[in-house]
Amino acid sequence: MDHLFAVWPDVARRLRSAEHVLLLSDYDGTLTPIVERPELAELPPQTREVLERLVRRHNLTVGIISGRALSDLKARLGLEGIVYAGNHGLEMEGPGLWFVNPLAEEIRPLLRLLHLALLQALSALRGVLVEDKGLTLSVHYRQVDSGRVAEVKSALESVVSPSRAGDRVRVTSGKKVYEVRPAVDWDKGKAIELLLEKYSGGRLTRPLPLYLGDDLTDEDGFRVVNRHDGISVFVGEEEIASAARYCLRSPQEVHELLGLLLELKKVE
Protein backbone atom coordinates (compact mmCIF):
# COMPACT_ATOMS: atom_id res chain seq x y z
CA MET A 1 0.00 0.00 0.00
CA ASP A 2 1.15 3.52 -0.79
CA HIS A 3 0.77 6.13 1.89
CA LEU A 4 -2.01 8.35 0.56
CA PHE A 5 -0.16 11.60 1.12
CA ALA A 6 2.85 10.30 -0.81
CA VAL A 7 0.71 10.03 -3.95
CA TRP A 8 -1.72 12.84 -3.14
CA PRO A 9 -1.19 14.85 -6.37
CA ASP A 10 -2.40 11.89 -8.45
CA VAL A 11 -5.30 11.12 -6.11
CA ALA A 12 -6.29 14.78 -5.94
CA ARG A 13 -6.37 14.93 -9.74
CA ARG A 14 -8.84 12.04 -9.82
CA LEU A 15 -11.04 13.63 -7.18
CA ARG A 16 -11.07 17.00 -8.95
CA SER A 17 -12.06 15.42 -12.26
CA ALA A 18 -14.88 13.31 -10.77
CA GLU A 19 -18.42 14.47 -11.46
CA HIS A 20 -19.47 13.27 -8.02
CA VAL A 21 -17.55 11.86 -5.04
CA LEU A 22 -18.98 9.43 -2.49
CA LEU A 23 -16.87 9.92 0.64
CA LEU A 24 -17.43 7.05 3.08
CA SER A 25 -15.71 6.29 6.37
CA ASP A 26 -15.84 3.91 9.28
CA TYR A 27 -16.20 5.56 12.70
CA ASP A 28 -14.19 3.81 15.44
CA GLY A 29 -10.47 3.71 14.72
CA THR A 30 -10.90 5.84 11.61
CA LEU A 31 -12.61 9.10 12.53
CA THR A 32 -11.95 8.51 16.23
CA PRO A 33 -9.13 6.70 18.04
CA ILE A 34 -9.80 3.25 19.48
CA VAL A 35 -10.76 3.57 23.16
CA GLU A 36 -11.28 1.17 26.06
CA ARG A 37 -15.07 1.31 25.93
CA PRO A 38 -17.22 2.11 22.86
CA GLU A 39 -19.23 4.82 24.61
CA LEU A 40 -16.02 6.83 25.07
CA ALA A 41 -15.36 7.21 21.32
CA GLU A 42 -16.23 10.86 20.76
CA LEU A 43 -15.77 12.58 17.41
CA PRO A 44 -13.06 15.28 17.73
CA PRO A 45 -14.62 18.75 17.36
CA GLN A 46 -12.23 19.71 14.56
CA THR A 47 -13.21 16.62 12.57
CA ARG A 48 -16.89 17.37 13.07
CA GLU A 49 -16.33 20.90 11.77
CA VAL A 50 -14.61 19.68 8.61
CA LEU A 51 -17.37 17.12 7.96
CA GLU A 52 -20.01 19.84 8.36
CA ARG A 53 -18.26 21.90 5.69
CA LEU A 54 -17.82 18.93 3.35
CA VAL A 55 -21.52 18.06 3.57
CA ARG A 56 -22.32 21.45 2.02
CA ARG A 57 -20.34 20.67 -1.16
CA HIS A 58 -22.81 20.09 -3.99
CA ASN A 59 -20.91 17.27 -5.74
CA LEU A 60 -19.88 15.38 -2.60
CA THR A 61 -21.94 12.90 -0.60
CA VAL A 62 -20.65 12.02 2.88
CA GLY A 63 -21.47 8.78 4.66
CA ILE A 64 -20.46 6.88 7.80
CA ILE A 65 -20.52 3.06 7.68
CA SER A 66 -20.06 1.47 11.09
CA GLY A 67 -20.74 -1.60 13.16
CA ARG A 68 -22.49 0.71 15.61
CA ALA A 69 -26.27 0.90 15.67
CA LEU A 70 -27.81 3.52 13.40
CA SER A 71 -29.31 5.39 16.35
CA ASP A 72 -25.93 5.48 18.08
CA LEU A 73 -24.21 6.92 14.99
CA LYS A 74 -26.85 9.61 14.57
CA ALA A 75 -26.58 10.61 18.22
CA ARG A 76 -22.78 10.80 18.10
CA LEU A 77 -22.44 12.78 14.89
CA GLY A 78 -25.67 14.77 14.82
CA LEU A 79 -25.00 15.98 11.28
CA GLU A 80 -27.74 16.67 8.76
CA GLY A 81 -27.41 15.71 5.13
CA ILE A 82 -25.10 12.72 5.52
CA VAL A 83 -25.63 8.99 5.09
CA TYR A 84 -25.69 6.92 8.28
CA ALA A 85 -25.11 3.19 7.74
CA GLY A 86 -25.33 1.27 11.01
CA ASN A 87 -24.76 -2.39 11.84
CA HIS A 88 -22.39 -2.76 8.87
CA GLY A 89 -25.02 -1.37 6.53
CA LEU A 90 -27.93 -3.56 7.64
CA GLU A 91 -29.75 -0.30 8.39
CA MET A 92 -29.15 2.96 6.50
CA GLU A 93 -30.61 6.43 6.45
CA GLY A 94 -29.65 9.49 4.42
CA PRO A 95 -30.85 12.03 1.86
CA GLY A 96 -33.64 10.26 0.01
CA LEU A 97 -32.67 6.94 1.57
CA TRP A 98 -34.17 4.63 4.17
CA PHE A 99 -33.17 0.95 4.26
CA VAL A 100 -33.38 -1.95 6.70
CA ASN A 101 -32.35 -5.41 5.58
CA PRO A 102 -35.65 -7.38 5.84
CA LEU A 103 -34.03 -10.73 6.63
CA ALA A 104 -32.00 -9.16 9.42
CA GLU A 105 -35.15 -7.59 10.85
CA GLU A 106 -36.68 -11.06 11.16
CA ILE A 107 -33.78 -12.14 13.40
CA ARG A 108 -34.17 -9.24 15.84
CA PRO A 109 -36.24 -11.21 18.44
CA LEU A 110 -33.67 -14.02 18.44
CA LEU A 111 -30.83 -11.55 18.98
CA ARG A 112 -32.68 -10.12 21.97
CA LEU A 113 -32.79 -13.60 23.53
CA LEU A 114 -29.12 -14.24 22.70
CA HIS A 115 -28.22 -10.94 24.35
CA LEU A 116 -29.80 -12.03 27.63
CA ALA A 117 -28.14 -15.45 27.40
CA LEU A 118 -24.73 -13.91 26.74
CA LEU A 119 -25.08 -11.54 29.69
CA GLN A 120 -25.62 -14.54 31.93
CA ALA A 121 -22.92 -16.75 30.37
CA LEU A 122 -20.27 -14.01 30.54
CA SER A 123 -21.23 -12.50 33.90
CA ALA A 124 -18.29 -14.09 35.72
CA LEU A 125 -15.71 -12.64 33.31
CA ARG A 126 -14.59 -9.22 34.42
CA GLY A 127 -14.17 -6.62 31.67
CA VAL A 128 -16.57 -8.11 29.12
CA LEU A 129 -19.13 -5.78 27.58
CA VAL A 130 -22.10 -7.26 25.72
CA GLU A 131 -23.70 -4.61 23.53
CA ASP A 132 -27.19 -4.98 22.07
CA LYS A 133 -27.33 -3.03 18.80
CA GLY A 134 -30.74 -4.19 17.69
CA LEU A 135 -29.78 -5.97 14.48
CA THR A 136 -26.44 -7.27 15.82
CA LEU A 137 -24.69 -7.96 19.12
CA SER A 138 -21.11 -7.08 20.06
CA VAL A 139 -19.03 -8.81 22.72
CA HIS A 140 -16.16 -6.49 23.62
CA TYR A 141 -13.21 -8.02 25.47
CA ARG A 142 -10.57 -5.29 25.31
CA GLN A 143 -10.56 -5.00 29.11
CA VAL A 144 -10.50 -8.75 29.80
CA ASP A 145 -7.33 -10.23 31.30
CA SER A 146 -5.32 -11.79 28.44
CA GLY A 147 -5.30 -15.14 30.24
CA ARG A 148 -9.09 -15.33 30.14
CA VAL A 149 -9.81 -14.24 26.58
CA ALA A 150 -10.24 -17.87 25.49
CA GLU A 151 -13.06 -18.17 28.03
CA VAL A 152 -14.91 -15.35 26.28
CA LYS A 153 -14.87 -17.21 22.99
CA SER A 154 -15.84 -20.50 24.64
CA ALA A 155 -18.84 -18.96 26.41
CA LEU A 156 -19.89 -17.16 23.25
CA GLU A 157 -19.76 -20.38 21.25
CA SER A 158 -21.83 -22.27 23.83
CA VAL A 159 -24.62 -19.69 23.59
CA VAL A 160 -24.56 -19.02 19.87
CA SER A 161 -23.78 -22.45 18.40
CA PRO A 162 -27.42 -23.75 18.24
CA SER A 163 -28.56 -20.67 16.33
CA ARG A 164 -25.48 -20.72 14.11
CA ALA A 165 -26.06 -24.38 13.30
CA GLY A 166 -29.53 -23.42 12.19
CA ASP A 167 -28.08 -20.82 9.82
CA ARG A 168 -29.77 -17.99 11.66
CA VAL A 169 -26.72 -16.08 12.93
CA ARG A 170 -22.99 -15.92 12.29
CA VAL A 171 -20.04 -14.73 14.37
CA THR A 172 -17.36 -12.40 13.04
CA SER A 173 -14.37 -10.87 14.79
CA GLY A 174 -12.77 -7.45 14.85
CA LYS A 175 -10.40 -5.51 17.06
CA LYS A 176 -10.99 -7.04 20.51
CA VAL A 177 -14.63 -7.76 19.67
CA TYR A 178 -16.80 -10.63 18.52
CA GLU A 179 -19.95 -9.78 16.65
CA VAL A 180 -23.11 -11.86 16.42
CA ARG A 181 -24.83 -10.98 13.17
CA PRO A 182 -27.80 -12.27 11.17
CA ALA A 183 -26.71 -14.97 8.73
CA VAL A 184 -27.67 -12.87 5.71
CA ASP A 185 -25.64 -12.18 2.59
CA TRP A 186 -24.81 -8.60 3.53
CA ASP A 187 -21.69 -6.66 4.50
CA LYS A 188 -20.16 -3.20 4.17
CA GLY A 189 -19.28 -3.92 0.56
CA LYS A 190 -22.89 -4.60 -0.40
CA ALA A 191 -23.94 -1.49 1.50
CA ILE A 192 -21.48 0.55 -0.57
CA GLU A 193 -22.85 -1.00 -3.78
CA LEU A 194 -26.34 0.12 -2.76
CA LEU A 195 -25.11 3.65 -2.01
CA LEU A 196 -23.24 3.91 -5.32
CA GLU A 197 -26.43 3.00 -7.16
CA LYS A 198 -28.60 5.29 -5.04
CA TYR A 199 -26.41 8.36 -5.46
CA SER A 200 -25.61 7.96 -9.13
CA GLY A 201 -28.46 10.43 -9.59
CA GLY A 202 -29.40 9.09 -12.99
CA ARG A 203 -25.91 9.68 -14.36
CA LEU A 204 -24.36 7.11 -16.68
CA THR A 205 -21.37 6.83 -14.37
CA ARG A 206 -21.55 6.16 -10.64
CA PRO A 207 -19.86 8.44 -8.08
CA LEU A 208 -16.15 8.02 -7.44
CA PRO A 209 -16.03 6.19 -4.07
CA LEU A 210 -13.44 7.02 -1.42
CA TYR A 211 -13.64 4.68 1.55
CA LEU A 212 -11.67 4.78 4.82
CA GLY A 213 -11.62 1.95 7.34
CA ASP A 214 -9.41 0.26 9.89
CA ASP A 215 -10.79 -3.21 10.63
CA LEU A 216 -11.46 -6.63 9.13
CA THR A 217 -15.08 -5.71 8.45
CA ASP A 218 -13.87 -2.91 6.16
CA GLU A 219 -12.13 -5.32 3.79
CA ASP A 220 -15.41 -6.11 1.99
CA GLY A 221 -15.82 -2.38 1.44
CA PHE A 222 -12.29 -1.99 0.11
CA ARG A 223 -12.81 -4.76 -2.43
CA VAL A 224 -16.03 -3.20 -3.76
CA VAL A 225 -14.43 0.23 -3.98
CA ASN A 226 -11.51 -1.27 -5.89
CA ARG A 227 -13.89 -2.94 -8.36
CA HIS A 228 -15.32 0.49 -9.08
CA ASP A 229 -11.80 1.90 -9.50
CA GLY A 230 -12.26 3.97 -6.37
CA ILE A 231 -9.92 5.06 -3.59
CA SER A 232 -9.66 2.55 -0.73
CA VAL A 233 -7.73 3.63 2.36
CA PHE A 234 -6.70 1.47 5.32
CA VAL A 235 -6.21 3.45 8.56
CA GLY A 236 -3.75 2.11 11.12
CA GLU A 237 -0.13 1.94 12.19
CA GLU A 238 0.19 -1.82 11.72
CA GLU A 239 1.54 -3.27 8.51
CA ILE A 240 -1.19 -5.72 7.55
CA ALA A 241 -2.34 -7.49 4.43
CA SER A 242 -5.29 -5.43 3.24
CA ALA A 243 -7.27 -5.06 0.04
CA ALA A 244 -6.93 -1.28 0.40
CA ARG A 245 -4.74 0.45 -2.17
CA TYR A 246 -3.63 3.26 0.14
CA CYS A 247 -3.04 3.80 3.84
CA LEU A 248 -3.11 6.49 6.50
CA ARG A 249 -1.58 5.99 9.92
CA SER A 250 -4.16 7.45 12.30
CA PRO A 251 -7.46 9.30 12.75
CA GLN A 252 -5.35 12.47 12.89
CA GLU A 253 -4.17 11.80 9.34
CA VAL A 254 -7.79 11.14 8.35
CA HIS A 255 -8.61 14.61 9.68
CA GLU A 256 -5.78 16.02 7.57
CA LEU A 257 -7.16 14.25 4.52
CA LEU A 258 -10.61 15.75 5.10
CA GLY A 259 -8.94 19.16 5.23
CA LEU A 260 -7.26 18.49 1.88
CA LEU A 261 -10.63 17.55 0.40
CA LEU A 262 -11.95 20.95 1.44
CA GLU A 263 -9.17 22.60 -0.55
CA LEU A 264 -9.99 20.79 -3.81
CA LYS A 265 -11.48 23.42 -6.09
CA LYS A 266 -13.68 21.00 -8.03
CA VAL A 267 -15.43 19.93 -4.83
CA GLU A 268 -17.03 23.31 -4.39
Active site residue ranges: 26
Phi then psi dihedrals of residue 11, to 5 deg: -65, -40
By residue count, the chain amounts to: 268
